[in-house]
Structure 1
């Protein structure tokens, strides 16, 4: 199984939207896909139509109590896409994990027996123990980066954390790419930020960009990924393009795009 953590400690950059729609795109082409919601807000779970009352066993139970992953997995309305939902209990997990043995390897252990082609982990907007668990479990990191003035602020901190994780917990972790989100071609600043990011990071940045799009914002309120809610909107097409590009970057890929 290929595991990809989707992380950025800055909030509101499109992590959950990216996680939900990339997972849906991969499932749509036949990859058996798992999405792990590791954000206490549980937005990825809501965005896939799983209400709080249907989240009996969650990622909290896998992390803190060592519950088997199979007990936490729920099916979604998307064929080939399963979910490990999140509950508000995760908000206290950071404190509980501090005292635990191998506190950064709990998710890695939980995913050890998972039988999927690919797994996405939607991380919270922080660099705490939840995100460290995701990075320790992951083969790759995908970073959504909003096209705004402070886009690069904090990115160096995230990249520094990645190096520390590689040194101490997961030497195989690599950055699969940086995805520019909330792209608005009408705004001159957006182009400037895009040029700056590409100038600093080069080919690490995906060619595909995700535009600002009303349909992307509307879809979660219907409990659907945008790719299902309106597969012809510009946001959905962007995520399908991003998924194709992601597959081409996967050194372990076993299927054709």
Structure 2
């Protein structure tokens, strides 16, 4: 199974605690298991993705910060990981990038320009962008660089207002910097299938905002908490767990979506009527 050219997905939700970083690491590892060439980009100054893949941010001299603010070639920063994916790591320096980029002309396009040489027939099959938990400059740059956006959503504490804000931002990005951006759908995380509330909330968000749901839902399990401490994804630390298998199925479904081609853009319902 091969995705056509390079698919760049921004994984975004300004609300924290929705398993966003876990999803990036796990989907990336699952895609790699399926023979895909994968680059993960850590755009969060907290560097959780970097740490969870076994890299100590404090040991790094170079990171995505220098790529975005100094024009450093990303190939000089990319690291190989034990999970079979490459990583463009973050450090706390990235916290200064928002301020550094605010006064720069074309700041929305800086990430897309930086990744240009990594995209295409000879580059990666997939680039996954782990967005910070905000709707600032870095998230807008990620959405501008992406073909699609994937929204992890915790089914227990879903906030309609938060989803609406993200879709408002997606709408603006479509208008001004990336008219081809597609919302690939919501990925239900921390899902407890024993409760009717979880499915009810998921159905509500799907209907309210006319969003596709990426299946299967990712189950709630302690195994996810154990993985970052080991510096590996759950696919390595608990290979046969329900969580690992769910991410494998999600990865396969994403590849199928990519092979089927992107549907025509449809108008987003950014706010409930």
Q: Normalising to structure 2: TM-score of the pair?
A: 0.88
> Would you say the 8 A contact 2:39–2:126 is kept in 1?
yes
Q: How do residues 135-154 of structure 1 correspond to structure 2 at under 5 angstroms?
A: 135-154=143-162
Q: What's 2:239 paired with?
A: 231
Q: How do residues 1-257 of structure 1 correspond to structure 2 at under 5 angstroms?
A: 1-79=6-84, 81-114=85-118, 115-201=123-209, 204-251=212-259
- Alpha-carbon distance between aligned partners in 2 of 1:212 and 1:125, rounded to the nearest angstrom: 21
Q: Superposition RMSD on alpha carbons, in Å? A: 1.4
> Would you say the 8 A contact 1:136–1:165 is kept in 2?
yes
Deviations 1:36-75 (A, max 9, x none): 0000011111111111244221111111111001011011
Higher strand share: 1
- Alpha-carbon distance between aligned partners in 2 of 1:232 and 1:188, rounded to the nearest angstrom: 26
Moved more, 1-10 or 179-188: 179-188
Deviations 1:81-114 (A, max 9, x none): 1000000001111111111121111100100001
> Would you say the 8 A contact 1:146–1:182 is kept in 2?
yes
- Alpha-carbon distance between aligned partners in 2 of 1:136 and 1:108, rounded to the nearest angstrom: 7
Moved more, 24-33 or 202-211: 202-211
Q: What stretches of structure 2 of length at least 5 have no aligned partner?
A: 1-5, 262-273
- Alpha-carbon distance between aligned partners in 2 of 1:252 and 1:31, rounded to the nearest angstrom: 16
